[in-house]
Chains A and B, each alone.
Chain A
Amino acid sequence: MEKLKISPENITKDLLPQAFGKRGMIWTASLLVLCGIGLFAYIRQLTYGLEVTAMRDYVSWGIYISNFVFFVAISLVGSLITAVFRLADVHWSTPLTRIAEIIAVSAIVFASIIIIVDMGRPERFWYLMVYGRVQSPIMWDVIVIATYFVISLLLLYLPLLPDLKILLKAKGEGVNKFQKMYRFMGSFWKGLALQEKINNKAVTILCITIIPVAFSIHTVTSWLFATTYRPGWDSTNFGAYFISGAFLVGAGGVVVAMYVFRKAYKLEKYITEMHFDKMGKIVVLLALLYLYFNINEYLVPAFKMKKPEEAHLNQLFAGEFAPLFWFAICVGMLIPIAIMLFKKGRKPIPMFIAGVMVVVGAWFKRYLIVTPTLLHPFLPMYNVPQSYHHYFPSWEEWAIAIGSLAGALLVITFFARVFPIIPIHETITEQHENAE
């Protein structure tokens, strides 16, 4: 393990939130513009109804739902990096925990938003609370996602408490504006031994709790599909398939975020090449795992070629969706594996590229899970206008989907602006322990 030899004062100075530079301003402004366009598109959708989308009776779920699955998937990484690694006593991941946790929180928030966007009657959202049927997989999703959100938020907040104390004492352009907020959030934290003890215990309990909840959110999300009869969805493999894919895209997302934060905030001393190397190995492992489930998911039905599956699989392997399908397989799994298998590929820049590939591949993979199946119903598509036979998202759908992605990034950006993205207190403690 590499040892940091930096004094606590310097660590604090390095890791304090910084005001946006010119690039930060441009980045934030662009995200705001994308969100604004998305909001405008959504206002149009509210005015004219879901007619503004390209969805119709056959493809009744489009990129909103695949985007939802993507968000839920990427949010799983919080539980992996924070909980699994903590319980396994892995220490090198400390600087990455907060990155993973804020990705989890913002993704789960936008997963909920995008699902409301998809509803034909969003103003009836509260019916889920008053008329909710626990027999419906949607209710299971509502319950576990809400639980996951609360636990993730706590896992973000509790480790932040010691840092808030540091922030309250700190002076500087980056933190002065937020003193009131820091005080509101953490003035009760005195850093007493008892407080530390309770906090640590709470975090450990949350880490244990979040693992089954994390498995639940994505298993249940997969059941939204697997509980139907449709070819391509009617699979007992779906829960594991979704979870492995979720860990992969989440880890990919963390790699990208690591690189960006490291560059933007000059964190080379804290997010080191060692971190990229280790994350690279993890991503390779997860990609291989996901590939394994993909083989199960596609090749086993393809061996039998049952009639309802046949049209669906042909479209994916060699038909209309083939370019996208092979893109998702190659860019989302095979090429990143090829890059990261080698030590040279686990350097920051190739890792960043591979991470982006994983995330982009994963987004399109979700689309391929949702839409092609709907184009192969049991009874032929019939007695409908031509437009019902195809699906290509309308500009409103693209704008809203992109807006939601920008929104998630915006939450992460603002969070990093206000709070230290690398835990200061934990970094100091660990360095102290290492030195001993």
Chain B
Amino acid sequence: MENKETKSRREFIAAGLLASVAVGCSTKKDPFTAGVDEGVTASGEKVKLLSVDGEIIEVDKAFLKPVPVVPPVSIDASRIGIEGKKFVMVIDLARCKNLRKCQEACNHVHHVHSDQNWMKIYPLQESEHTAPYWQPTNCMHCDEPPCVKVCPVDATFKRQDGIVLIDNERCIGCRFCMAACPYSSRVFNWQESDYKEVAGTEQPYSPETSVPQKRGTVGKCDFCPDRYREGKLPYCVEACPNGVFLYGDMNEDSVTNGAETFRLSELLRDKAGYRLMEDLGTKPSVYYLPPVSRSFKFEDGMDDESKADKDISSHK
């Protein structure tokens, strides 16, 4: 367990570094990119530090930088969004094996009630004679969001970076947005979250982190802009061992799963990307790559299906 944790933490850092480099190309304002390519020369003066693996290492003093402090984003700031960004996600159905690691990670960090999921992995089959496949589905962060249109108090809103968020300090719990969303991606906090907060880790509420959850308000996938501010990828992207999720910025035309980076336009063109329910005109920010030349058989995902004690037949 401990081992796993360190490993995943290392992955986090690797992914963060990748993202920092990617970001560094476009703007130097981001706090976590400062100094990466400033051409600092070694001073010759060394300091001893303890690495994450518990080893003592020596580093030149000139390369030391204070850990960037990312202040919690205020509610007002999280209504505006990150300038110059247009966040997108690409979900490669050819790689999904229904491992549900994305779901686990997402539920955990967002304190989602154990009955509910922000990320759902549907077993779908278009018609009788076509192949079934697993479809991870989160909030589509639509450019024409039906949920935002109907909200009476501006509790759910569209930001300049394309992300649709909920301010649970504003939400009145009318649930009109849930009726309006055709992707069923919204959940309601019918009760207090059953997430057990570790003492000392309480954080102030921000719509960007979505925690702490509040009873009587609506919740959904927030596209993890807080992670982006830290130079990291969303939890689902990082948690997936098969690289199903690719996250990025449409303005930069690149998406990454931490290990591979693609040019978004080429990826969508070469692999015939599409969006869900295009005919409704919601213009999602989440693209799908069709389940062709798959890494796994559909049936491979069934092992995890039995664990989750949900019946597939019920909706067919």
A: residues with CB less than 8 A from B are 48-51, 53, 55-58, 60-61, 118-121, 124-125, 127-128, 131-133, 135-139, 142, 224-225, 227-230, 374, 377-385, 388-389
A377 to B277 Cα, complex, angstroms: 13
* A-B interface, 6 closest residue pairs, ranked by CB to CB distance from nearest: A120-B173, A380-B315, A120-B216, A138-B152, A51-B191, A136-B152
| B176 contacts A138, C-beta separation under 8 Å | yes
- Residues of chain A within 8 A of B137, CB atoms compared: 379
The reply to whether the CB of B171 lies closer than 8 angstroms to some CB of chain A is: yes
- Residues of chain B within 8 A of A51, CB atoms compared: 190-191
**Known contacts A228-B179, A382-B310: A119-B173 contact under CB 8 Å:** yes
**Known contacts A133-B153, A384-B115: A227-B180 contact under CB 8 Å:** yes
| A57 contacts B184, C-beta separation under 8 Å | yes
| B176 contacts A382, C-beta separation under 8 Å | no
B: residues with CB less than 8 A from A are 103, 115-117, 120-124, 137, 146, 149-155, 170-176, 178-180, 182-184, 186-192, 215-218, 277, 280, 308, 310, 314-316
The smallest beta-carbon distance between B193 and chain A, in angstroms, is: 11
- What would 7 A/B residue contacts be, using CB atoms closer than 8 Å? A56-B190, A60-B178, A60-B179, A120-B216, A379-B120, A380-B124, A382-B120
| B149 contacts A136, C-beta separation under 8 Å | yes
| B122 contacts A120, C-beta separation under 8 Å | no
- Residues of chain B within 8 A of A380, CB atoms compared: 122, 124, 314-316
A20 to B119 Cα, complex, angstroms: 60
| A224 contacts B176, C-beta separation under 8 Å | yes
- Residues of chain B within 8 A of A135, CB atoms compared: 149
- Residues of chain B within 8 A of A383, CB atoms compared: 103, 117, 120-122, 308, 310
A35 to B172 Cα, complex, angstroms: 25
The smallest beta-carbon distance between A181 and chain B, in angstroms, is: 36
- Residues of chain B within 8 A of A121, CB atoms compared: 171-173, 216-217
| A381 contacts B150, C-beta separation under 8 Å | no
- Residues of chain A within 8 A of B121, CB atoms compared: 383
- Residues of chain A within 8 A of B216, CB atoms compared: 49-50, 119-121
Main secondary structure of the interface of A (DSSP, over half): loop
A55 to B178 Cα, complex, angstroms: 12
Nearest A residue (CB) for B147 = A228
A133 to B170 Cα, complex, angstroms: 13
| A382 contacts B122, C-beta separation under 8 Å | yes
Q: Could you say which of B153, B173, B182, B191 contacts A48, with CB atoms under 8 Å apart?
A: B191
- Additional 7 contacts, C-beta under 8 A, given A53-B190, A378-B184, A380-B122: A57-B186, A119-B172, A121-B217, A228-B146, A377-B182, A378-B182, A380-B315
The smallest beta-carbon distance between B101 and chain A, in angstroms, is: 14
| A230 contacts B176, C-beta separation under 8 Å | no
**Known contacts A51-B191, A121-B217, A384-B115: A379-B184 contact under CB 8 Å:** yes
- Residues of chain A within 8 A of B176, CB atoms compared: 136-138, 224
| B171 contacts A137, C-beta separation under 8 Å | no
- Residues of chain A within 8 A of B174, CB atoms compared: 118-120, 138
Most-contacted residue by chain A among B146, B155, B172, B188 (CB, 10 A):
B172
- Residues of chain B within 8 A of A230, CB atoms compared: 179, 182
| A57 contacts B191, C-beta separation under 8 Å | no
| B188 contacts A229, C-beta separation under 8 Å | no
| B215 contacts A49, C-beta separation under 8 Å | yes
A284 to B34 Cα, complex, angstroms: 78
A131 to B157 Cα, complex, angstroms: 13
- Residues of chain B within 8 A of A389, CB atoms compared: 314
**Known contacts A56-B190, A138-B152, A380-B122: A127-B314 contact under CB 8 Å:** no
The smallest beta-carbon distance between A312 and chain B, in angstroms, is: 13
**Known contacts A377-B184, A380-B315, A388-B115: A131-B154 contact under CB 8 Å:** yes
- Residues of chain B within 8 A of A125, CB atoms compared: 172
Nearest B residue (CB) for A53 = B190
Q: Could you say which of B150, B184, B188, B280 contacts A227, with CB atoms under 8 Å apart?
A: B150
**Known contacts A51-B190, A61-B179, A119-B174: A131-B153 contact under CB 8 Å:** yes
| B172 contacts A120, C-beta separation under 8 Å | yes
- Residues of chain B within 8 A of A124, CB atoms compared: 153, 170-173
A377 to B155 Cα, complex, angstroms: 23
| B188 contacts A50, C-beta separation under 8 Å | yes
| B152 contacts A379, C-beta separation under 8 Å | no
Nearest B residue (CB) for A58 = B184
- Residues of chain B within 8 A of A139, CB atoms compared: 152
Q: Could you say which of B122, B187, B218 contacts A379, with CB atoms under 8 Å apart?
A: B122
Nearest A residue (CB) for B191 = A51
Nearest B residue (CB) for A227 = B150
| B170 contacts A127, C-beta separation under 8 Å | yes
A136 to B153 Cα, complex, angstroms: 8
- Residues of chain A within 8 A of B173, CB atoms compared: 50, 119-121, 124
The smallest beta-carbon distance between A220 and chain B, in angstroms, is: 12
A127 to B216 Cα, complex, angstroms: 15
| A50 contacts B152, C-beta separation under 8 Å | no
Nearest B residue (CB) for A48 = B191
Q: Could you say which of B146, B153, B188, B215 contacts A57, with CB atoms under 8 Å apart?
A: B188
The smallest beta-carbon distance between B167 and chain A, in angstroms, is: 10
Q: Could you say which of A55, A229, A374 contacts B190, with CB atoms under 8 Å apart?
A: A55
A137 to B187 Cα, complex, angstroms: 21
A61 to B315 Cα, complex, angstroms: 20
- Residues of chain B within 8 A of A56, CB atoms compared: 188, 190
- Residues of chain A within 8 A of B120, CB atoms compared: 379, 382-383
A227 to B180 Cα, complex, angstroms: 8
- Residues of chain A within 8 A of B179, CB atoms compared: 60-61, 224-225, 228, 230, 374
Nearest A residue (CB) for B100 = A383
Nearest B residue (CB) for A383 = B120
The smallest beta-carbon distance between B194 and chain A, in angstroms, is: 11
